[in-house]
Amino acid sequence: MALMLALGACGAEEAAEPEAEEAAEIEVAEEGGEPIVIEGSNGEVVLEEPAETVVVLEWTYAENLLALGVQPAGMADIEQYGEYVNIEPQLADSVVDVGGRSEPSLEAIAEIDPDLIIGVDFRHEAMLDQLEDIAPTVLFNPYPEEEANIDLYEEMITTFNEMAEAVGKEEQAEEVLAELDATYEEAAETIEAADLATDDFILTLAYTGPQAPEIRVFTPHSMASMILEKIGLNNVHEPDQFEVFGSSTFNVEGLTQYEDVNYLYTVPDEDNIYENQLADNPVWENLSFVQEDRLFDLGADTWLYGGPLSAMTLVDQVVETLVTE
């Protein structure tokens, strides 16, 4: 009899376990689910629920939200963003400008009363405590050091997924990244079919320097270069040292070592060194890629430091200029 009672009690306990687990799950659901843990360069940031009111202090993070179907509540440097970043969807008129990317207004951010602030460590680490007084703040590092176990492209994808989790849009993130992969595949087929004279390239961003025009030549480990490698192109630039920001700075004379390539470039409309300072420069005009018309303007608003949407824009512009024109 004692044995039967004991066995009955065990059976009752086992039957009660699923009920207890189910009750616990219901309680968690009623409380809004488990906390969300976002991993940034400033460590783990915990949110009790997906953020709805988000302030972003860097253009890439605004772009990431837009890709996920979320409008930022506040954003730094809105006017210039529109000049450099060519993506859809656009920012809504309701997005509040909170000042410059380097020196955002704490007062403007606080007035928004955000659930989450997203910044970049090399600009905002010094003001992290002040930002955290306003709302949970996560900083990301888009430029890992050489010894890091992640490259610039991987960092872009990782940050995009972290942000998707922060706003509860993981499924949308999967769809965006699937579309990005499809864009690469289609572009690679188009490039291969075009049978270009050369698949070699250098990718540049130029501007007026203190003494003379300066030209950023993107390294093979840069995010933009890795994107172009995915569609079958070959970056021939070999930097003398690791460039943490993914580009080496040249003057026009430094380009003579790369005369046989396709010269892909973006340049600000208001500071077009090719139409101004280099228009009659003999070194520039005697470069083979200039004389043979292998210059490919990707447009001032093709942003080379963005997220998945800018990556798609870059690929589309490269295909259009290399193949269509």
Q: What would the pLDDT profile of 256-268 be if each residue is shown by its tens digit?
A: 999 999 999 999 9
Average pLDDT value over all residues in the chain: 89
User: 168, 186, 212 — which closes off a domain?
Assistant: 168
pLDDT tens, residue by residue, 55-79:
999 999 999 999 999 999 999 999 8
Once rounded to an integer, what is the mean pLDDT over residues 283-306? 95
Q: Do 221 and 105 reside in the same domain of the chain? A: no
Judge if 145 and 216 occupy the same domain: no
Residue after which a domain boundary falls, among 111, 133, 168: 168
Judgement on whether residues 145 and 246 belong to the same structural domain of the protein: no
Residue 205 in any domain: the answer is yes
The per-residue pLDDT for range 205-245, each reduced to its tens digit, is 999 988 889 999 999 999 999 999 999 999 999 999 999 99
Q: Rounded mean pLDDT of 170-197?
A: 96
Can you give the CATH number for the domain in which 244 is found?
Answer: 3.40.50.1980
Q: Has residue 25 been placed in a domain?
A: no
Who contacts 265 (Cβ-Cβ below 8 Å, separation ≥6)? Answer: 203, 204, 205, 206, 274, 295, 296, 297, 298
pLDDT of 250: 94
Single-letter code of the amino acid located at 6: A
Q: Does the pLDDT of residue 14 top 70, yes or no? A: no
> Of 168, 191, 210, which one is at a domain's C-terminal end?
168
How many structural domains are present in the chain? 2
139 shares its domain with 184: no
Looking at the fold, whether 223 and 304 belong to one and the same domain comes out as yes
User: How far is C-alpha 315 from the chain's CA centre?
Assistant: 14
In a domain, residue 60? The reply is yes
Band (pLDDT 50/70/90 cuts) for residue 34 is confident
Residue 71 CB partners (closer than 8 Å, separation 6+)? 65, 91, 92, 94, 95
Average pLDDT over residues 87-100: 94
> Which letter, b or e, does each residue of 144-163 get, where b requires 16 or more Cβ atoms within 10 Å of its Cβ?
beeeeeeebbebbbebbbbb
Q: Please give the residue range of the domain that contains residue 73.
A: 36-168
Confidence of residue 133 (pLDDT cuts 50, 70, 90): very high
State whether 127 and 206 are in the same domain.
no
Q: Give the residues across from 215 on adjacent strands.
A: 206, 250
Residue 125 lies in a domain: yes
Contact 299, 86 (CB under 8 A): yes
Q: Return d(Cα 25, Cα 13) in angstroms, integer.
A: 18
How far apart, in whole angstroms, are the C-alpha atoms of residue 64 and residue 172? Answer: 11
- Per-residue pLDDT tens digits for 155-183: 999 999 999 999 999 999 999 999 999 99
Q: Are residues 215 and 142 in the same domain?
A: no
Do residues 264 and 219 both lie within one domain? yes
**Whether pLDDT at 28 is above 50:** no
Q: Which positions ≥6 away from 89 have C-beta within 8 Å?
A: 66
Do both 57 and 193 map to the same domain? no
